Amino acid sequence: MYPDLEQIRARILQFIPAAQVTIVNNTGAAEQHSLLLDNAHARTIAAFLRDDADLRLDYCSNVTGVDWLDKEVTETKKVAEQQADGTEKVVEQKTKRIEPGYLEAVYHLYSIEKKSPAAIVIRLRTANRTDNVTVPSLTPVWRSCELQEREVFDLYGIVFENHPDLRRLLMWDEFKDHPMRKDYVSPDDYEWEPTPHDEVLTRAMQHYPQEEASRGDTEGAEK
C-alpha cells in the first residue's frame, strides 16, 4: 500500500529534520489534503520525494496558483470584569485584526513507478501578496513544471526563483498586473479587443474620441 500523507510527512522529517512540513486539511467534499513545505527546504524535499525508494514521486502532473486575500479575523477571549458591587463577572472580549494574504503554488505529484493511487499535493507559500512573492522553482526536480510555473507567474505573479526561463506565457510582455488575482480589475480600454461589443464596448467607449463614442451609441440603438 502506498504511504499516506502522515507517513510521507514523517518520512520527510526523518531524512530532513530541519524541514518544516505542515499538513493542510481540505474540508471540502474532495478531502484532498496537502503538505505545506517551507521554502528554505522545498527543493531538497522535492528531490527526496522524487528519489526516495518508497515514494518515487516521479511525475508532476499539474501546477496551479491560489490567491489568498487579506482577511479580518475576530478573536474572542473571556476576561474578568470588576462590577460596582465588588464582584467579578466573566465577559467576552472581542478584538479584530487583519491577517495578511499570500499566494500559493500547488503541485500535484504521482508515482508512475509505484502506481500511486491518487495525487500527493504539496504547497509553497509566499510571505505576502505585494513585495515578497518568491518561492523556489521545482522545475529542476520535475521538468514538467517549467511551462506551468511560467503560467502561474504570468497569471498570479508568483516569482519562481532559479526557474530556467521565467517570463510571461499567456499575456504579452508589456501587460500589467496578473489577471487571476482576486482583486484584479479589468481595464476599461480593451485595446487588444479588435471588435469590442456588449459590455466591453460600453466600457471602452469612454476612452474613444467623442465622435466615435456618438457613432457607437447610434449603432447600438439601431440594433
> Which of 85-94, 133-142, 191-200 has the weakest average pLDDT?
191-200
Of the pLDDT bands very low, low, confident and very high (cuts 50, 70, 90), residue 53 is very high
- CA 208 to chain centroid: 36
Domain containing residue 174? 5-69+101-184
Is the separation of the CB atoms in 121 and 35 below 8 Å?
yes
92 pLDDT exceeds 90?
Answer: no
96 pLDDT above the threshold of 80: yes
The per-residue DSSP string of 118-143 comes to SPEEEEEE-S-SSS--EEE--TTT-T
pLDDT band at 191 (very low <50, low <70, confident <90, very high): low
- Average pLDDT estimate for 63-68: 97
Spatial CA neighbour of 39 closest among 108, 113, 114, 102: 102
* Same-domain check for residues 120 and 217: no
Using one digit for the tens of pLDDT, what is the confidence trace for 66-76? Answer: 999 998 988 88
Residues 106 and 206 placed together within one structural domain of the fold? no
Say yes or no: 139 and 170 in one domain: yes
pLDDT of residue 17: 96
pLDDT at residue number 215: 54
Same domain, residue pair 140 and 206: no
Tell me: the pLDDT tens digits for 199-221?
Answer: 777 777 777 776 554 555 555 55
Question: What is the average pLDDT across 13-37?
Answer: 93
Please count the structural domains in the chain: 2
> Residue 203: its pLDDT value, please?
75
Please say if the pLDDT value at position 49 is more than 60.
Answer: yes
Q: How far apart are CA 205 and CA 215, in angstroms?
A: 10
Kindly indicate the confidence band of residue 185, based on its pLDDT and cuts at 50, 70 and 90: confident
Residue 54 in domain = yes
Reading the block at residue 53, the C-alpha cell is 525508494
Average pLDDT, the chain: 89
Residue 212 and residue 198 share a domain: yes
Which pTM was predicted? 0.81
The rounded distance, in Å, linking the Cα atoms of 160 and 206 is 38
Q: Is the dihedral of CA 148, 153, 159, 161 positive or negative?
A: positive
- Whole-number percent of the chain with pLDDT over 90: 63
- 44 and 105 together in one domain: yes
56 in the same domain as 9? yes
How far is it between the farthest Cα atoms of the chain? 80
